[in-house]
């Protein structure tokens, strides 16, 4: 009988082959990228992606590999391929203030695309451990700001508004400064005022994705301020980094976020709470009976739980939050009543 360790060494050999082939695939993809850039073609070719998926699914069927497995790994291939095909014409000196999840996500993208990225903040050892994960470096806050052309503030709205980085604003003179907060209500006005006082160019952004690596293909909301002037350069900066810019203004952004974030998170917090309560009342562990839908929803609930501080921050900062939660409760009541009256009719 073959023992586990000899089987594992066979697996290691197969893994080695998979990796060599993957590396070859990525090299070919980079060549495709060069041709696409030369011809001015878009990176995404949906019909080619569909063709690749069909080929893989057909082949995997004959090999007995589940279709769902193929369909879940191929989007990762395409997204990573597109990232390798990116190549900005112009390297920019980008400074990221802060070292949290969103800083990590943006650093992964901007450094891979070829920009020079410096991470800074009060705690340089945290900044440097993040920088070492990518092609990025650390500098003290004042040195970094002096060096950079584009400054991205990734710290949360409360510290921004309580003056945590106020001392750095005079050094930002004539630089381009962006924030990435999810709620623009107060931060926007604050930074716009500072940009007028200290003569820097302020453009507000909101990356519309969570703190994950290489977010190629995701959206970023971009909002002009009174000091931003023409923002074509920044729209191109973000598109060349693989994101899709959505041009908007703070008011529209807050209204949109009241639906996309406040409403959705509110329902999910309620769902999480009711699943816990119902499980305890029924004396049941629902995970033992999970359906596909339940599993997918549980994953989303888990994500919402892990981002709870940001989610609560949005619930408290969005100016439409109360109105939206009211609308949500009324909608739920309406569904409840409709279900009750349907039941009566069916009797």
Ligand X SMILES: O=C(O)C(=O)C[C@]1(C(=O)O)C=C[C@@H](O)C=C1
Residue 31: φ, ψ to 5°: -65, -45
**In the complex, what is the shortest distance from the CB of residue 217 to ligand X, in angstroms, rounded to a whole number?**
10
Identify which of residues 48 and 146 has a Cβ nearer to ligand X in the complex.
Answer: 48
Q: Closest CB to ligand X among 95 and 243?
A: 243
- 33/148 with CB nearer ligand X: 33
Least separation in angstroms between residue 35's CB and ligand X is 9
Give the H/E segment covering residue 270.
Answer: helix 264-282
- As to burial, measured by CB atoms within 10 angstroms (0-12 exposed, 13-18 middle, 19+ buried), residue 213 is middle
Quick one: 83 or 153, whose CB is closer to ligand X? 83
What's the min distance (Å) between Cβ of 81 and ligand X? 3
From the CB of 41, what's the least distance to ligand X, in Å? Answer: 8
Give least dist CB 39 to ligand X, A: 11
Shortest Cβ 74–ligand X spacing (Å): 8
Q: Rounded to the nearest whole angstrom, what is the least distance from the CB of residue 87 to ligand X in the complex?
A: 13
Helix (H, G, I), strand (E, B) or coil at 163: coil
Query: With respect to ligand X, which residue has the nearer C-beta, 85 or 179?
Result: 85
Sheet holding 219-224, edge to edge: 136-138, 116-120, 93-97, 150-153, 176-179, 201-207, 219-224, 244-248
Residue 124 near residue 138 (C-beta atoms within 8 A): yes
- Cβ-closest residue to ligand X? 81
Q: Quick one: 156 or 242, whose CB is closer to ligand X? A: 242
For residue 171, the 8-state DSSP code is: G
Helix or strand (DSSP H, E) at 136: strand 136-138
The site for ligand X (CB under 6 A) is made up of 29, 32, 44-45, 48-49, 52, 77-78, 81-82, 85
DSSP H/E element including 93: strand 93-97
DSSP string, 211-265: S-S--TT-EEEEEE-TT----HHHHHHHHHTT-EEEEE-HHHHHHHHIIIIIIHH
Question: With respect to ligand X, which residue has the nearer C-beta, 86 or 177?
Answer: 86
């Amino acid at each position: 009988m073959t023992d586990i360790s000899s089987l594992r060494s066979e697996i290691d050999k197969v893994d080695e082959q998979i990796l060599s082939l993957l590396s070859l695939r990525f090299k070919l993809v980079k060549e495709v990228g060069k041709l696409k850039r030369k011809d001015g073609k878009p990176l995404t070719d949906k019909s080619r992606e569909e063709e690749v998926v069909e080929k893989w699914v057909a082949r995997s069927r004959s090999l007995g590999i589940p279709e769902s497995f193929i369909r879940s790994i191929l989007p990762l291939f395409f997204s990573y391929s597109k990232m390798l095909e990116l190549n900005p014409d112009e390297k920019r000196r980008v400074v990221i203030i802060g070292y949290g999840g969103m800083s990590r996500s943006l650093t992964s993208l901007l450094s891979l695309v070829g920009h020079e990225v410096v991470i800074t903040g009060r705690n340089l050892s945290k900044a440097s451990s993040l920088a070492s994960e990518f092609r990025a470096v650390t500098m003290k806050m004042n040195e970094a700001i002096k060096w950079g052309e584009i400054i991205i503030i990734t710290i949360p709205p409360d510290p921004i508004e309580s003056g945590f980085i106020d001392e750095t604003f005079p050094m930002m003179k004539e630089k381009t400064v962006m924030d990435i907060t999810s709620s623009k209500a107060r931060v926007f006005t604050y930074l716009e005022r500072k940009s007028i006082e200290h003569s820097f160019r302020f453009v507000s952004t909101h990356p519309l994705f969570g703190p994950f690596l290489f977010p190629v293909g995701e959206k970023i909301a971009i909002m002009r301020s009174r000091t931003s002037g023409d923002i074509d350069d920044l729209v191109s900066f973000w598109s060349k980094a693989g994101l899709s810019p959505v041009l908007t203004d703070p008011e529209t952004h807050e209204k949109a976020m009241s639906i996309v974030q406040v409403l959705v998170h509110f329902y999910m917090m309620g769902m999480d709470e009711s699943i816990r309560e119902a499980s305890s009342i029924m004396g049941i562990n629902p995970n033992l009976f999970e359906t596909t839908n339940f599993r997918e929803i549980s994953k989303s609930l888990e994500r919402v739980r892990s981002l709870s501080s940001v989610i609560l921050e949005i619930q408290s900062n969005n100016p439409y939050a109360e109105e939206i939660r009211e609308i949500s409760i009324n909608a739920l009541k309406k569904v409840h009543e409709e279900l009750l009256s349907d039941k009566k009719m069916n009797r």
